[in-house]
Amino acid sequence: MKSKRKPTSHLGEKGRLKMRLIKEIINLHVKRDVSVRQISRSLSLPRSTIADYLSRYKARDLSLKDIQTLDDESLYRILFPQKRKTIESKKETPDYAYIHHELKRRGVTRLLLWEEYREQNPDGYGYTQFCELYKQWNKKVTVTMRQVHKAGEKMFVDYSGLTMGIIDKLTGEITQAEVFVACLGASGYSFAEASMSQKKACFINSHTNAYYYFGGVTEVTVPDNLKSAVTTFDFYEPTINASYQDMADYYGTVIIPARILR
């Protein structure tokens, strides 16, 4: 069964979360005197979006007391009067700022957000167009650094952070397995497998399976800074786990861990 977050108010969960976010932005900026730049970093939202919410708040001559006392439905009507469209409207524009923020949450996907959007807008955009419109919006607000990877140069490896249940057919016992993921830098070609843990033996075995799946070994292998890969974290000269280094020497690849928090 697909998991769905059911709305609990007239605004739906999407609207409630958006209003909670707006209230938090107003409280941080007006009451605590936090700058737009700092709020943008803290909430991972574009500064243009935060500035838009604050300008709407100031234009309506609202007070902090109003923000606290008004219910979400009433406050939304005041801040977004032009977005209160009639039922006859055919194509409700997705809330791209909300989508952008929610995609940072673990387990939230574009498909899940589109299903939520279509629940509230049955005549809205199809999934393909929904994704394309978000992609176009994201290009305008997100600053990115283009990285060029040579074919066969790098393989990036890490655990997804999510687990999956494996059921023992004899006992019915459910064990949570880790999900190992390897991706080639140039093509984006990926390999994934369930692993019983993130310990060295499982970690190295997953590398072997990835190399076999790709049909070769890249010049460089880039792991995250988990203990099975890095013994000592250092910006310039991290210490690679001995067993992991032995694997690298055997396959003729160089281990270069990703920079911490990058």
pTM for the full model? 0.49
Cβ atoms of 206 and 200 within 8 Å: the answer is no
Q: Is the model more confident about 193 or about 121?
A: 193
Q: Is the model more confident about 85 or about 225?
A: 225
Burial class (CB in 10 A: 0-12, 13-18, 19+), 230: buried
Count how many Cα atoms sit within 13 Å of the Cα of residue 17 in the half-sphere of its side chain. Answer: 16
- DSSP-derived secondary structure letter, 162: E
pLDDT value, residue 10: 60
Phi, psi of 257 (to 5 degrees): -60, 150
pLDDT at 1 over 50: no
pLDDT value, residue 212: 93
**Mean pLDDT value across residues 102-131:** 86
Distance CA 115, CA 128 (A): 12
Segment 170-209, tens digit of pLDDT: 888 888 988 999 999 888 889 999 998 888 899 999 999 9
Cα 246 from chain centre: 34
Segment 23-75, tens digit of pLDDT: 889 988 888 888 888 888 888 888 888 888 888 888 888 888 888 888 888 88
Counting other chains too, the contacts that 7-13 makes at CB distance below 8 Å and 24 or more residues apart are: 7/119, 7/120, 9/72, 9/73, 10/73, 11/72, 11/73, 11/76, 12/116, 12/119, 12/120, 13/116
For residue 195, the surrounding DSSP H or E stretch is strand 190-195
157: β partners: 182, 223
Q: Which of 18-27, 40-49, 135-144 has the lowest mean pLDDT?
A: 135-144
pLDDT value, residue 144: 63
Measured on CA atoms in the order 241, 246, 251, 253, is the torsion positive or negative?
positive
pLDDT at 111 over 50: yes
* CA-based nearest residue to 4, from 94, 100, 111, 92: 111
Cβ atoms of 60 and 74 within 8 Å: the answer is no
